[in-house]
Structures are given as C-alpha cells and as structure tokens.
Structure 1
C-alpha cells in the first residue's frame, strides 16, 4: 500500500509531460501550416521590379525615320556655296550651224611651203567650217593628214592680215607668200583655191574671216 500513491504520482507526471509535448507540437504544426492561406508555400517569387519595355499610358511610339543622306545639288548656287568653282556653260551653236559639215572641196589650211620635186608646193590640210567657238567667229576644223598641193609660179594670190597689213584682200606674189610661210610656219591660215588642168593651184585667196 505504501508504493501505490508514489506510483500513481509518477504516472500522472508522465501523462502531463506527454500532453505538454503533444500540445507544443500541435501548435508548431498549426503555426507552420497557417503561415500561408490554403496551405500554399509562402516562397512565392516576388514580382520583377524591371521596367516594362512598353510605354505607360499609350500605344508604342513609331520608330524615328532615318535622316536621308545629302546628295550633291545640281544648282550653280549650291556649287558656289560649297567653294567649288563653277564650270562655264558651253556656248550654244549659232542658229543654223551644222556641227559636222561636209569637207569643203575648195578650202584648205596652209601650214608650210616646200620646193621639193622641182616645183613649189603648199603643205596643207583639208577641213570644214565648224560652229563658232566661245569667243565668237568662225572656226575651220581640219581633218585627215597633211598633204601636198603644187602651186603655179604665176598663180593669182590675194592675202589679208597677218600676211599683209590690211583687212582687205591685197594681191601678192608666190615669192611673198612662201617667204611669209617660211618665217611663220604652221599657222594654218585658211585659203580658198582653184586647180587648173595641170593639177597645180592657179588661184589662191586668203579668207578674210580667218580666226
């Protein structure tokens, strides 16, 4: 009988300890389970703080158009403002001017003189009258290679400046002409001429409008 109450007290202490442990574990589990509603884990990732690429308050802005590259202007004023020298405009052909006329059958540019072969010959080039140049006046365009044309000793010759000091045709001798050609070779003065039956020049006249 002496051992009964002591044993009962020990049993009661053990029961209290068991109940206390059970209650603590229950509170802990309940607290853990109630940390998030509906039992969902609380480790939900937070929303990203990075700014959105779309602008707030309206539709996306249209991309800016690229600035077009500048191209050289064709106007003379732009060229002058850029410090570039202006090119002179080509002279317009005179009314009725034919740029490529047929070769004149009786006009030549006289360059030199030669006595080879025992008779006098003029070294010449054939050609035609072209359109006036920038300075005005007619221009004789020569074509082909130099050639020889014999001239009669008694040919009728007329000349103007610079062969003679006159703008009006003056008669000269063949000797006067050849002396001038020897002193002033390759001038290319223009003459009209006529050939006789012998094949030599019988008349030779310097063109008054030679330029």
Structure 2
C-alpha cells in the first residue's frame, strides 16, 4: 500500500514539473535563442565593432599663417637730416695728402727731436682733416721751417723759425694739430717744414 502511494506522489511531482517548464517557455517571448550557456547575444547587423574598426580622425583646422607685422616707427623722433651734397667741381671724398701732416707734440727721446703727427686730407672744400693714428717723424735741428699764425701772432705769410722755436711753441701749445707741408731727406728725417695758414 505504501509503495502505491509513493509511486502516485512521484507521478504528481513529475507532472507539476512538466507544467512549470511548459509555462516558463511559452511565457518568455524575449528569451535569447537556444545556445550554449554563457554565449553573448549577437550584435545588430551593420553595426561596426568598437574594437575592430579604427575611429575616423577629426578634420584638422588649417594652421594659421603668420602675417608679418609692420615695423614699429619710433614716436617723437625726427629722421636724421640727409647729408649735404658735395660741392660742385670736387670729389666728396678726397685722398690722403702725400705731403701734409698735422703736428701735435714733440718728444726728445732717442737724443733727437721727434714730431708726433697724423696724416690727413683736405676737405672738399674745407680745412685739413687728420685721419688715422698718431705716428713719429724725426726732424733735423737744421731743418728749414716757416711759420704763420698762430705760431707767429698775426702773421699770414710764412717766416723762417728754428727747430728750437718750433719745439718750444709745441711745448706750450700741445695738441693743436696745425697742418704743415713737409719733406723727408734720404735718411727719413724732416728737412723742410712749412706751416699751412688757417684762418
């Protein structure tokens, strides 16, 4: 009797289980299609895979080209005045005079008189203009020298003076740069020196 009851109970349980499974399958419309457990749902057709397709690069803007700015003009400053044109009938740049020097000082070093001079050029038109560095020229004690103003006050025409008179004046009036025409002898010593009168 117990065996019959046990079999009837097992049959009832099996029927209930079948009904529950049938109800679950019929009521789940959105269930995923049969497949192995753990399988992912297929992606919609036409959608590119995020991992397999490279992203399209964003359109780059063209680089801005540098526009040169106008040069700054100083304010409050006047432009320099143009150089005056050369005088008619002469070159703007005169050559160095081959026989004229500007005499500045003298030194008795070496046992002889040495004039400290600079070479130069005459302006166009204009006075004698020294250029370059100072150099030394020995002068003979018996040199023929003529002087005008300002060595000889008020004198326009050249008058003879001695080498000693010239060096004495240079000692008391250094760095005047008075122009003289000169001549060198065979030993390279000044033997003739004539002052050029300057107003």
Class of the TM-score when normalised by the shorter of the 2 chains? 0.5 to 0.7
- Structure 1 pair 127–35 and aligned structure 2 pair: CA distance change class (3 A): same
CA offsets per residue over residues 146-200 of structure 1, 9 Å max, x none? Answer: 12021537x3513234x35559456363355333211123433221135689976
Match of 1:20 among 12, 16, 21: 16
TM-score, length-scaled by structure 2: 0.54
- Structure 1 pair 62–138 and aligned structure 2 pair: CA distance change class (3 A): farther
Aligned equivalents of 2:9, 2:109: Cα separation in 1: 161
Aligned equivalents of 1:25, 1:63: Cα separation in 2: 66
Aligned equivalents of 2:101, 2:30: Cα separation in 1: 124
Task: Name the SS for the 2:131 alignment partner.
Answer: strand
Match of 2:136 among 130, 142, 146: 146
Counterpart mapping for 1:97-116 below 5 A: 97-98=92-93, 101=95, 104=98, 106-113=99-106
Q: Which residue of 2 aligns with 1:191?
A: 180
1:96 aligns with 2:91: yes
Aligned residues: 180
Q: Which residue of 1 aligns with 2:117?
A: 125
- Structure 1 pair 144–181 and aligned structure 2 pair: CA distance change class (3 A): closer
Which one has a larger percent helix, Structure 1 or Structure 2?
Answer: 1
Aligned equivalents of 1:197, 1:90: Cα separation in 2: 47
Aligned equivalents of 1:202, 1:191: Cα separation in 2: 10
Unaligned runs of 5+ in 2: none
CA offsets per residue over residues 56-104 of structure 1, 9 Å max, x none? Answer: xxxx251442757x89x8x6x53x35x9x999799699572447x3561
CA contact (8 A) 2:115 2:137 kept: yes
Aligned equivalents of 1:195, 1:147: Cα separation in 2: 9
1:178 aligns with 2:167: yes
CA RMSD of aligned residues (A): 5.3
Task: Name the SS for the 1:160 alignment partner.
Answer: coil
